[in-house]
Amino acid sequence: MIPDELRLSPSAKDQLFDLLSRGILGCLLLFALFPIYWMIISSFRTRTEITAADPQLLPIELSEIPLIVQDPVILLEILHYENYVTMWGRFPVLDYFINSLVIAMTTTGFALVVGCLGGYAFSKYRFPGKGAVGGALLGTQMIPGILILLPMYLMFIWIQNNIGFPMVNTYHGIIFVYTTFTVPVAIWMLRGFFDTIPDSVEEAARVDGCSRIQALVRIILPMAAPGIAATGMFVFLVAFNEVLFASILASGDVTPFAIGIQSFETQTTAYWGEMMAASTVATAPILVLFVLFQKPIVEGLTEGSVKQ
């Protein structure tokens, strides 16, 4: 038995629980953010600093802080921004980045078009085999990518050899691959959003003079915009970050950033600083996009869960 004086009052319990949960969340956040922090500060370091046996946690000395406060320009001298200058010349960073953008954006476009039409059909239509097809779509997500990598590669080679249409190391090839495995997720996510839109709104549009496709485009899609934004962001990130398929199916002129970044590590040297600088530059636009779209995405991700 716990003596009464040691028992916590209900409000103290709440506070303790609050403190604990914040503590755990803080640790997890630190765990997630530290690599990004390390990437950024490493991009401002020389190779010697990066590979030092006792790496410093801070990019500057504590004694330098008053100086920086007095004159922020001094930061440029303390931090080694050279990596950001030299990386462009050493490797085709911009090409990698553009490749990634082209691949990710086109995939997102395809996945959203197919996902919207498919998700809408699954949500609002009744058709034979609806359950089976829906289940099969979901089932594709249960297969590890590595299992279909080789068959996919062989299929691409077969198409190239027999039909004469190049697939390996092309934009359309890798976009095709990404579309095949993002479309099912897009359909399922969007179906959830369409489910929350009452049928009567679409019916009102049809009575108002719309065909079904007009009702979809003019009424349903604008209403599902947060869901479409969330789904689009999800697909974009999957395509932007993908490494496995890209490593085999997309090299040469279409090498995306996630693969291209590996070239900073050559057989003789690893250009860590420049690699980190390139990574920072590639991550920044995505982060900015995320911050801008955070509200609709969060709304979108939670909307499907609650029946309005």
Write out the residues near other proteins by the rule CB under 8 A.
Answer: 198, 200-201, 203-211, 214, 219, 222-223, 225
Give min distance, CB of 130 to other proteins, in A. Answer: 13
Query: By C-alpha distance, which of 143, 187, 180, 174 is closest to 240?
Result: 174
CB closer to other proteins out of 33 and 225: 225
CB closer to other proteins out of 90 and 206: 206
Give min distance, CB of 297 to other proteins, in A. Answer: 18
129: left (phi over 0), alpha (psi -120 to 50) or beta: left
Other CB atoms within a 10 A radius of the CB of residue 139 amount to 11
Give min distance, CB of 228 to other proteins, in A. Answer: 13
Owner of token pair 């479409």: 228
Give min distance, CB of 22 to other proteins, in A. Answer: 34
CB closer to other proteins out of 232 and 256: 232
Cα four-point dihedral sign 155, 161, 167, 170: positive
Distances (CA, A) of 205 to 145, 221, 235: 42, 13, 30
Give min distance, CB of 120 to other proteins, in A. Answer: 16
CB closer to other proteins out of 72 and 129: 129
Give min distance, CB of 200 to other proteins, in A. Answer: 4
CB closer to other proteins out of 69 and 307: 307
CB closer to other proteins out of 275 and 297: 297
Reduce the DSSP state of residue 119 to 3 states and report it. helix
CB closer to other proteins out of 80 and 212: 212
Other CB atoms within a 10 A radius of the CB of residue 278 amount to 26
Give min distance, CB of 301 to other proteins, in A. Answer: 19
CB closer to other proteins out of 56 and 211: 211
Give min distance, CB of 205 to other proteins, in A. Answer: 7
Contact between 232 and 301 under an 8 Å Cβ cutoff? The reply is no
Q: What is the DSSP letter of 8?
A: P
Query: By C-alpha distance, which of 257, 113, 241, 116 is closest to 189?
Result: 116
Please give the radius of gyration of the chain, using alpha carbons only, rounded to the nearest integer. Answer: 25
Contact between 231 and 186 under an 8 Å Cβ cutoff? The reply is yes
265 - beta bridge partners? Answer: 270
Dist CA 187 CA 81 (whole Å): 44
Contact between 123 and 194 under an 8 Å Cβ cutoff? The reply is yes
Angle between helices 82-90 and 272-303 (to 10 degrees): 90
Give min distance, CB of 204 to other proteins, in A. Answer: 4
Reduce the DSSP state of residue 79 to 3 states and report it. coil
CB closer to other proteins out of 230 and 246: 230
Tell me the two tokens of residue 210.
């719309």
